[in-house]
Amino acid sequence: MRDAVTSLIDNYDLKGRYLDRDAMDSLKSYFTTGMARIQAAAVINGNAAAIVRQAGTQLFEDIPELIRPGGNAYTTRRYAACLRDMDYYLRYATYALVAGNMDVLDERVLQGLRETYNSLGVPVGPTVRGIQIMKDIVKEQVAAAGVESSSLLDQPFDYLTRELSERDI
């Protein structure tokens, strides 16, 4: 798993270049927002179970056919698997938030997801909706905790939803 610093250095090293003004600005931004990223992660970590539970409840209210007979979250086992996956997305979004880099999402979440979802017959639309709901809940909780996060919280969740939406899962 790489963070913003190692990714930036690796890119410049591959090109055989010294860090320029753009690189220095990127590093400055990363370090300036570091405390906010860590504080936001602490809020998420302290409330992860409640965030997932609330997002699941809202998702199933928005798309009730998921929990009806024949739906992808019908039966206790499937319902639990859905919440487990939402927790998984939340945890890795938090890692990406702290790292300031989305590589962990590609490496640990998105690679292989197509095959898994296809084999299980899991539709991507409700998954994307669940991630968006979690983003909204996280933003509310982080703001309520007094953490100034600007668009930092959007990045990992938006990356997940964009990548899932663009893939033919």
What is the residue extent of each domain of the chain?
A: 1-32, 34-166
- In contact, 19 and 12? CB cutoff 8 Å: yes
- The pLDDT assigned to 113 comes to 84
C-alpha gyration radius of the chain: 18
- Mean pLDDT throughout 69-98? 96
Distance CA(42)–CA(44), nearest Å, equals 5
Percent over 90 (pLDDT), the chain: 83
Which CATH architecture describes the domain 34-166? Orthogonal Bundle (1.10)
pTM: 0.90
Distance CA(154)–CA(168), nearest Å, equals 23
Q: Model confidence over 44-69: pLDDT tens digits? A: 999 999 999 999 999 999 999 999 99
- The pLDDT assigned to 142 comes to 96
